[in-house]
C-alpha cells in the first residue's frame, strides 16, 4: 500500500498522532450492504428532542416514509429505511449506550420507495427557505458523528451573519474511511450539496478541508471544482483532532470559535461531507436520509470493508458481511477509536451518525489500570483547547468538580488526545464526562 | 409507547466495554523513568572510570537503599509495590551522582533513605512529592556531614582508587583561592571540565557524558528545552556579568557552566516532572529563576555551589507558577467580545 500524502501546512496547535490504520479499508470501493430483514429505527438519532412515533404496530410502510415526527426545533424526523410492516415499537439497544425507543420494521422484500418523492433538477429556482425545509424534512443531521440537526445549523440568528461554509472531509479518526470513500466515489454530490448549503446561507465562498493522507479524495474533489471559483479544496495536516469543528475552522479560515460558543459566533458553518451528499440527495431526488456509508474495520473483523448501509441495519449483519469477527475480537466500537463508543451488544443498529464499526482484537485492547499523574505535561501539549488535562484529572479524581470547572472543564470536547498520550494511562475523558454529569446534576 | 419484550437475535460475543479513547500510546511511566536512568549511564560509567571501585560502591549503596526503602514503605502502607517503575532507582542513582566517591557509605545511605522515605513516600509517593527527593536527600547529608560531603578526591583513573588524595573542586578553589590558584591546580581547565577529569561529585564531572544523555532525552522529547536551557543561559549570562574580579562583564561563563553541578542539575533534576511546573511558559520562568538563585549562592552565598538549593527553593514555587501562568484556553480571548 502506498503511503502517500500531499503537502499541507494548515492546522491547529496541539493534537496527537495515533496510527491511522486506514490502509485496512481505504482502497476498498464501497459495496451496498444487504437490505436488512428487520430494521430497528431509533427515534433518537440526533442531539435534541427524540421523535414521536407516527407509525403504529401492524402498519405497512414504504421506504422513505416518515415514521417519526420531530420532537421540537432541535430534532430531526426519522424515516423507514426499508419497506415492510411495523412489528414493534419499544426500547431497543442503541449505540449511544442504553436502550432507547425505536420502531422495528420487518422487510417485505420489495424495497419500494414511498410515492410522491419530488425531484428538483435546478435547485436555484428554490428559495433558501424552501431548500432549508427540504433538508429539515429529510431528517438530515451531522453525519460525522455528532448528529446535530442540520437545519438548526442553517438557521443562524440575524445578529450572527455567516460568511464561510466549510465541508469537513478531514476524517481524522484513525481507521475510518467512510468519508474518504464517499469523497472518492461521489465528489459531484458533495460539491452540489455544498452549493446548496451556500445558497441556503447566502455565502459566496465554500471550502472543503481534507487531511493530506487522502490524496485521491483531494484530487477527486479538486477535479470536480476545477474551473469554478466558488469552492476551494484544502489539504490539511494529518493530525488528530483536525476534524474537530473548531480545529478545522482554525486551520482553514484562521478564525477562533470563542470558548463556550459555536462556529456561527465567528461567522462559520461546518458540515460533514456526508451531510452535504445527503443534502444533495434530499434536494435533487426528494430522498430522506435512510442510508449512509459505514466502514467496518479493525483487526477484529476478517475482511474490513466500506458499506452503503440502510439506517437500522444491525451491527451484527454488517460484521457478518465483513467476514465476521475473528476469534480474538474483544471490543466493538461505534465510530473511531478516539471518540467512538464501545458496544455491549451487536444488536445495535446503524444510525445516521454511525461512520464506522471498529472491532479491535484482544491484543490491541488495553485493560491496564492507571497510575499516579507524574505531571509530565504531555497532555497539556496535546490538548487542542489549551487546557490542563492533568490538573482536571487530579481534581476530578478527588471529587473537586467545582475546581475542575474553574480550570475550564466545560471547554473540553472530549477528543481524547490527553488520554491517548498519558504515560500513566489515566482516564481523563472518563473523568471529564463524570464531572460534567455531576455538575449538571447539581444545577438541576 | 408499548413495551416489547427484548429479543436476542443471537448469542452475544463477550465484549470489553470502556470509555474511549480505545487506543493509547506505548509510552509508560516505567519506560520514561528507565530511559532517564539509561541517559545517565554514560556519566555513571565515566565516574567509575575516574574514581574506580569507590564510585561503584556509592552507586550500589544508593540504588539498593532507594529500592529497598520504596518497597518496604509501599508494603507498610499496603500500596502496590511499584519499584519496577524505575523512579526509586532514578532517585538512588541521582543521589550517588551527587556524592564524592570516597565518602563513608552510611552517609549516602542515610540521604537516600530520607529521600525516598520522607520526601517521596510520606508525601504520597510518585507524583505527589513537593521537593525533588534526590536533592532533599543530598541537602540533608550536606548539612549533616559537611566535611565528608565536601572532601573530594583526585580523579586518578584507577579502579582501586580507595586511597586517592583529596583535592578541592574547581568551584571551591575559585571561591577560596581565586583564579591563579585554580589554573595552577587545574591546567587545561575547559578540556578537563568537559571530560570530567577533575575533583567533584560522581555525576557532575563528565560534562560531555551528561550532555550526551540530555541530548538523547531531548530528541526523544522526554525532556524539553523549557527548563534546562534558560537555566544554563541565565547562569552563563549572570556569571559573565558579575562573576569577574575586574568588574562587570569579565566573568568566565564557560567555566561556571561546566564547573559545578549545573549540567547535571539543569538537565536531570530541574526537569523532574513532578516537582517542576508543567505549563511551558512557567517552566521558562522556573529555569531562569533557578539560574539567578544558583549564581547568587555561588557568588554571594556561603556555599561554593548553588544548583541544589536553587532548584529546591524553586520547587516550592512550581505550583504557584503553574497557577499564575495558566495557558490561555482556545477561544477564551474571543469569548469576551461575544454576547451569549
Buried b (16+ CB within 10 A) or exposed e, A150-181: bbbbbebeeeeebebbbbbbbbbbbbbbbbbb
Predicted local confidence at residue B167, as pLDDT: 85
Q: Phi first, then psi: give them for residue B164, nearest 5 degrees.
A: -60, 145
The DSSP bridge pattern shows strands A78-79 and A84-93 to be unpaired
Q: Tell me which architecture the domain covering A38-107 has in CATH.
A: Beta Barrel (2.40)
Determine the Cα–Cα distance for residues B99 and A378; give it in Å rounded to an integer.
32
- Rg for chain A (alpha carbons), in Å? 21
Cα–Cα distances (Å) from A106 to A87, A115, A244, B176, B204, in that order, read 7, 20, 37, 95, 78
Q: Which residues of A touch B8 (CB under 8 A)?
A: 347
Is residue B9 assigned to a domain?
A: no
Using CB atoms, pick whichever of A90, A329, A411 lies closest to residue B13: A329
- Could you tell me which of B335, B339, B20, B279 has the C-alpha nearest to residue A411? B335
Domain region containing B309 = 30-324
Nine-digit cell string for B168: 578541592
Cα Dmax for chain A:
63
Distance of CA A153 to the CA centre of its chain: 15
**pLDDT classification of A347: cutoffs 50, 70, 90:** very high
Helix (H) or strand (E) holding A305: strand A305-310
In a domain, B74, yes or no: yes
Q: Is B11 on the interface with A (CB under 8 A)?
A: no
Q: Are B101 and B202 in contact (CB under 8 A)?
A: yes
Question: What is the per-residue pLDDT for A9?
Answer: 83
pLDDT reported for residue A44? 93
Q: Residue A258: which residues within 8 A CB-CB, separation 6 or more?
A: A265, A266, B331, B332, B334, B335, B337, B338
pTM of the model: 0.92
Please judge whether A380 and B335 are an interchain contact, meaning their C-beta atoms are less than 8 angstroms apart. Answer: no
Cβ contacts of A332 on chain B, cutoff 8 Å: 15
In a domain, B334, yes or no: no
Predicted pLDDT of residue A98: 85
Is the per-residue pLDDT at A2 higher than 70? Answer: no
A142 confidence band (pLDDT: 50, 70, 90): very high
Looking at residue B209, what is its pLDDT? 94
Task: Tally the domains of chain B.
Answer: 1
CATH for A119-285 is 3.40.50.11540
Over residues A336-355, the mean pLDDT reads: 96
Is the CA virtual torsion A151, A153, A159, A160 positive or negative? negative
A23-37, A380-394, A402-416, B147-161: range with lowest mean pLDDT: B147-161
Residue B154 has what pLDDT? Answer: 83
B26 touching chain A per CB within 8 A: no
Residue B323 touches partner A, C-beta closer than 8 Å: no
Chain A nearest CA to B58, separation (Å) = 28
Model confidence band, residue A192 (pLDDT cutoffs 50, 70, 90): very high
Whether B22 and A333 lie within 8 Å, measured CB to CB:
yes
Residues in chain B with pLDDT values less than 50: 1-6, 8, 339-340
Question: Residue A171: its pLDDT value, please?
Answer: 97
Question: For B73-80, which contacts have Cβ atoms below 8 Å and span 24 or more sequence positions?
Answer: B73/B116, B73/B117, B73/B121, B74/B121, B74/B125, B77/B121, B79/B125
Question: What is the tens place of the pLDDT at every residue in A220-238?
Answer: 999 999 999 999 999 999 9
User: What is the C-alpha to C-alpha distance for residues A46 and A351, in angstroms, rounded to an integer?
Assistant: 9
Give the three-state DSSP class for A419. helix
- Would you state the pLDDT for residue B340? 43
| Chain A interface includes B249 (CB < 8 A) | no
Mean residue pLDDT of chain B comes to 91
**pLDDT for position A444:** 74
Q: What's the confidence (pLDDT) of residue A7? A: 73
Residue B22: closest C-alpha in chain A: A337
For residue A1, pLDDT over 50 is answered with: no
The pLDDT of residue B186: 85
A338 contacts in chain B (CB < 8 Å): 20-23
Classify residue A380 as exposed, middle or buried by CB count within 10 Å of its CB (0-12, 13-18, 19+): buried
B230 part of contact set with chain A, CB < 8 Å? no
How far apart are alpha carbons B269 and B261 in whole angstroms? 10
A425:B82 CB<8 A: no
Domain residue ranges of chain A, discontinuous segments joined by +: 38-107, 119-285, 292-364, 378-443
CA distance B325 to chain A (A): 11
Asked if residue B20 is part of any domain, the answer here is no
CB contact under 8 A, B19 and A433: yes
- pLDDT of amino acid B5: 45
How far apart (Å, rounded) are the C-alpha atoms in residues A308 and B261?
Answer: 65
Sign of the Cα torsion B157, B160, B166, B172 reads positive
CATH number of the domain encompassing residue B232: 1.10.3430
End-to-end CA distance of chain B: 38
- The strand ranges marked E within B154-290 are none
Q: pLDDT tier at A4 (50, 70, 90 boundaries)?
A: low
A244-279 confidence digits (pLDDT tens)? 999 999 999 999 999 999 999 999 999 999 999 999
On whether residue B35 sits in a domain, the answer given is yes
SS3 content of chain A, % helix, strand, coil (to 5): 30, 20, 50
Residue A90 reports pLDDT greater than 50: yes
Is B234 a member of any domain? yes
Whether B278 and B322 have beta carbons less than 8 Å apart is answered as yes
Q: Domain A292-364: which CATH class?
A: alpha beta
ipTM exceeds 0.95, yes or no? no
pLDDT at B4: 46
Amino acid at each position: 500500500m502506498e503511503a502517500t500524502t500531499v503537502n499541507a501546512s494548515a492546522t491547529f496547535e496541539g493534537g496527537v498522532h495515533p496510527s491511522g490504520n486506514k490502509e485496512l479499508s481505504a482502497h476498498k470501493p464501497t459495496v451496498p450492504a444487504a437490505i436488512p430483514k428487520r430494521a430497528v429505527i431509533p427515534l433518537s438519532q440526533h442531539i435534541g428532542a427524540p421523535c414521536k412515533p407516527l407509525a403504529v404496530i401492524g402498519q405497512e410502510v414504504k421506504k422513505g416514509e416518515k415514521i417519526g415526527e420531530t420532537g421540537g426545533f432541535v430534532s430531526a424526523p426519522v424515516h423507514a429505511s426499508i419497506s415492510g410492516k411495523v412489528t414493534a415499537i419499544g426500547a431497543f439497544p442503541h449505540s449511544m449506550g442504553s436502550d432507547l425507543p425505536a420502531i422495528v420494521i420487518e422487510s417485505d422484500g420489495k424495497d419500494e420507495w414511498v410515492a410522491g418523492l419530488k425531484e428538483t433538477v435546478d435547485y436555484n429556482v428554490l428559495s433558501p427557505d424552501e431548500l432549508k425545509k427540504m433538508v429539515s424534512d429529510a431528517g438530515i443531521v451531522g453525519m460525522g458523528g455528532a448528529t446535530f440537526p442540520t437545519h438548526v445549523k442553517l438557521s443562524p440568528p440575524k445578529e450572527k451573519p455567516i460568511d464561510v461554509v466549510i465541508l469537513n472531509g478531514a476524517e481524522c479518526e484513525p481507521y475510518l474511511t467512510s468519508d474518504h470513500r464517499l469523497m472518492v466515489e461521489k465528489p459531484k454530490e458533495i460539491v452540489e450539496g455544498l452549493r446548496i448549503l451556500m445558497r441556503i446561507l447566502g455565502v459566496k465562498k465554500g471550502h472543503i478541508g481534507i487531511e493530506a493522507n487522502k490524496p485521491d479524495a483531494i484530487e477527486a474533489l479538486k477535479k470536480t471544482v476545477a474551473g469554478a471559483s466558488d469552492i476551494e479544496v484544502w489539504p490539511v495536516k494529518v493530525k488528530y483532532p483536525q476534524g474537530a469543528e473548531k480545529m478545522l475552522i482554525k486551520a482553514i479560515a484562521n478564525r477562533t470559535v470563542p470558548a463556550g460558543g459555536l462556529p456561527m459566533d465567528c461567522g462559520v458553518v461546518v458540515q460533514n461531507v456526508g451531510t452535504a451528499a445527503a443534502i444533495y440527495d434530499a434536494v435533487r431526488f426528494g430522498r430522506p436520509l435512510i442510508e449512509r456509508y459505514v466502514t467496518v474495520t479493525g483487526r477484529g473483523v476478517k475482511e474490513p470493508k466500506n458499506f452503503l448501509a440502510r439506517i437500522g441495519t444491525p451491527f451484527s449483519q454488517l460484521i457478518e458481511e465483513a467476514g465476521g469477527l475473528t476469534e480474538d475480537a474483544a471490543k466493538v466500537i461505534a465510530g473511531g477509536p478516539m471518540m467512538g463508543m464501545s458496544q455491549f451488544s451487536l444488536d445495535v443498529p446503524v444510525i445516521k451518525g454511525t461512520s464506522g464499526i471498529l472491532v479491535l482484537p484482544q491484543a490491541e485492547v488495553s485493560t491496564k489500570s492507571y497510575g499516579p499523574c507524574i505531571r509530565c505535561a504531555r497532555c497539556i501539549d496535546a490538548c487542542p483547547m489549551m487546557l490542563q488535562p492533568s490538573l482536571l484529572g487530579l481534581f476530578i479524581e478527588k471529587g473537586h468538580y467545582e475546581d475542575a470547572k474553574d480550570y475550564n472543564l466545560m471547554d473540553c470536547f472530549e477528543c481524547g488526545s490527553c488520554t491517548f498520550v498519558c504515560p500513566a494511562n489515566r482516564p481523563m475523558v472518563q473523568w471529564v464526562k463524570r464531572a460534567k454529569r455531576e455538575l449538571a446534576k447539581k444545577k438541576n | 409507547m408499548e413495551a416489547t419484550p427484548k429479543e436476542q437475535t443471537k448469542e452475544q460475543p463477550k465484549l470489553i466495554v470502556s470509555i474511549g479513547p480505545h487506543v493509547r500510546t506505548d509510552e509508560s511511566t516505567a519506560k520514561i523513568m528507565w530511559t532517564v536512568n539509561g541517559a545517565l549511564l554514560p556519566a555513571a560509567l565515566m565516574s567509575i572510570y575516574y574514581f574506580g571501585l569507590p564510585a561503584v560502591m556509592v552507586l550500589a549503596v544508593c540504588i539498593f537503599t532507594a529500592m529497598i526503602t520504596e518497597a518496604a514503605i509501599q508494603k507498610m502502607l499496603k500500596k502496590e509495590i511499584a519499584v519496577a517503575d524505575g523512579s526509586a532507582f532514578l532517585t538512588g542513582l541521582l543521589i550517588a551522582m551527587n556524592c564524592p566517591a570516597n565518602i563513608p557509605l552510611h552517609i549516602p545511605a542515610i540521604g537516600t533513605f530520607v529521600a525516598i522515605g520522607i520526601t517521596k513516600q510520606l508525601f504520597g509517593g510518585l507524583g505527589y512529592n513537593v521537593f525533588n527527593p534526590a536533592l532533599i536527600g543530598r541537602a540533608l547529608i550536606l548539612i549533616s556531614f559537611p566535611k565528608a560531603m565536601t572532601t573530594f578526591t583526585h580523579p586518578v583513573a584507577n579502579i582501586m582508587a580507595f586511597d586517592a588524595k583529596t583535592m578541592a573542586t574547581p568551584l571551591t578553589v575559585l571561591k577560596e583561592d581565586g583564579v591563579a590558584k585554580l589554573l595552577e591546580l587545574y591546567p587545561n581547565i575547559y578540556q578537563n571540565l568537559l571530560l570530567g577529569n577533575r575533583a567533584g561529585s560522581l555525576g557532575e564531572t563528565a560534562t560531555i557524558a551528561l550532555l550526551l544523555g540530555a541530548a538523547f532525552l531531548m530528541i526523544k522529547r522526554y525532556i524539553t528545552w523549557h527548563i534546562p536551557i534558560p537555566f544554563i543561559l541565565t547562569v552563563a549570562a549572570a556569571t559573565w556579568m558579575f562573576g569577574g574580579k575586574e568588574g562587570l562583564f569579565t566573568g568566565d561563563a564557560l567555566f561556571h557552566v561546566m564547573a559545578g553541578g549545573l549540567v547535571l542539575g539543569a538537565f536531570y533534576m530541574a526537569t523532574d516532572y513532578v516537582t517542576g511546573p508543567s505549563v511551558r511558559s512557567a517552566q521558562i520562568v522556573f529555569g531562569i529563576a533557578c539560574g539567578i538563585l544558583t549564581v547568587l549562592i555561588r557568588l554571594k552565598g556561603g556555599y561554593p555551589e548553588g544548583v541544589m538549593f536553587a532548584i529546591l527553593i524553586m520547587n516550592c514555587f512550581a505550583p504557584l507558577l503553574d497557577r499564575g501562568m495558566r495557558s490561555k484556553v482556545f477561544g477564551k480571548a474571543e469569548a469576551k467580545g461575544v454576547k451569549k
